[in-house]
Every structure is written in C-alpha cells, then in structure tokens.
Amino acid sequence: MRPSPRASGAWKAGWQNDQDLSVLVAAINGFLLGASLIIAIGAQNAFVLRQGLARAHVFVICLACALSDAVLIVLGIAGLGTLIANSPLMIRAVTIGGAVFLFVYGLLAFARAYRTGGLVAAADKPAGLAAAMAACLAFTFLNPHVYLDTVVLIGALSASYAGAPRLAFGAGAALASFVWFFGLGYGARRLAPVFAARRAWQVLDIAIGAIMWGLATGLVARVV
C-alpha cells in the first residue's frame, strides 16, 4: 500500500525541519567555539584595540583579521588541519617566527610608551595603511595559535558534521571572528576620552609590550 500524498508531504516536511534544526545547531556550536577561542588577551586583539583607539584604518584592519580567520577556518574544514597537526617541522617554524616577531613588536610598544612627546591620541601619528596591514597580517599568520585554533581544532571538530551542518559549523565560527573584531575595533572608540591622556596611552603600550613578550616567551618554551 502506497503512502498518501499528504503523509509523504508530512514526512518530507518533518525531515526538512530536522535538517534545518541540525544546520542551526551546528552554526550555533561553531559560533560559540569560535568566540571562545578568539576572545582572549593576545597580540592580534591588542593590535586591533590600539588601532581602534587611534581611529586608524579600523575597518580595513578588522576586515583583514576576520577574513584571515575565515580563510583558515575554510582550510581547516577542507582537511588542512590534519596535515599541519602531523607536521612538527611546520609547527616549529611558525612558532619560532612568531616568537621573534612578538618580541620585536613588544620592544616597539615599550619604546612608544617611554619616548619623548608622549602618545596623546590627537598628536600621535598613526602608521600608514601599508605598515598597519603588514603588522596585522604578521600578527595573524606568524601566530601558531591561530593555526592550532582555526585550522587544527575547528577543522578537527568539524569532522563530526557532514554536508550542510559542517558548512554551517564553519560559517558560525567565521561569523564569531567578524563580530568580535569589528566590535573590538569600533567599540574601542568609546574609550577615546580616557585615552586622551598621555598616561593612559603609556599604560596601554606597556601592557601590550608585556603581553607580546609573555606570548613570545611561551612560544620559545614550546620549542626549547
């Protein structure tokens, strides 16, 4: 006995609803995972915060950071996470390069904090777009944690999904990066009155320098 058209239609509607729900759940899980990985005190976030406070190339920097994360997440979901996780030489090279970069940038942050003339927002000349983009990309791609978080971890966890839910999981994780970076970059402007004082900029740069050196030390400890 064949099922009636009405019963068949109800079954298809129920299946579609279950599929839509699984996609939504995967997207939410991806967003929460991405947010938990990216919302932390780190070199990249400190850089975006400072650009936001200086109101220098905020949109471009936030977009570059978010798109970089999105690209790495796509690579992770495509299977590159397994490749990098199984290549100790690649991880070691990225770790050493990242440590050197973080140490140098931390040194520059300490120099900004103590140089003559101070760091009043209105008087401090921000870096040009090319220099800001170079620093932004270096913070992103010379940080081994970004590969471990986006490519390896998110890529590995996405393997528990298949088809549309897997794509939704990655899209949710990428969306978390866009929300965070643009929120951080433009939200920093609310703190502009506080950072109108030279002392506040000094404290920020000293904190950034300490964070950079702390991260660099942690990276060196991984390979020594």
- pLDDT tens per residue, range 71-118: 999 988 887 656 665 677 776 776 787 788 778 878 888 887 776 443
Query: Which amino acid appears at position 174 of this protein?
Result: A
Domain contains 11: no
Domain contains 167: yes
Domain contains 4: no
Domain contains 115: yes
Task: Name the residue range of residue 163's domain.
Answer: 16-223
Domain contains 10: no
Cα gap 105→100, rounded to integer Å: 9
Residue 123: per-residue pLDDT: 42
Residue 154: per-residue pLDDT: 81
Domain contains 66: yes
Residue 84: per-residue pLDDT: 62
Nearest Cα residue to 42 out of 121, 124, 105, 122 = 105
Domain contains 1: no
Q: Which positions ≥6 away from 139 have C-beta within 8 Å?
A: 43, 44, 47, 101, 105
- Give the pLDDT confidence of 155-188 residue by residue, as tens digits: 877 776 778 888 898 999 999 999 999 988 998 8
How many residues in the chain? 224
Q: Tokens standing for 217?
A: 């030390």
Taking phi over 0 as left and psi of -120 to 50 as alpha, with beta for the rest, 55 belongs to left
Cα gap 199→213, rounded to integer Å: 21
Cα gap 140→128, rounded to integer Å: 18
Query: Which amino acid appears at position 6 of this protein?
Result: R
Cα gap 181→160, rounded to integer Å: 27
Number of structural domains in the chain: 1
Domain contains 49: yes
Q: DSSP 3-state assignment of 13? A: helix
SS (H, E, C) 28-69: HHHHHHHHHHHCCCCHHHHHHHHHHHHCCCHHHHHHHHHHHH
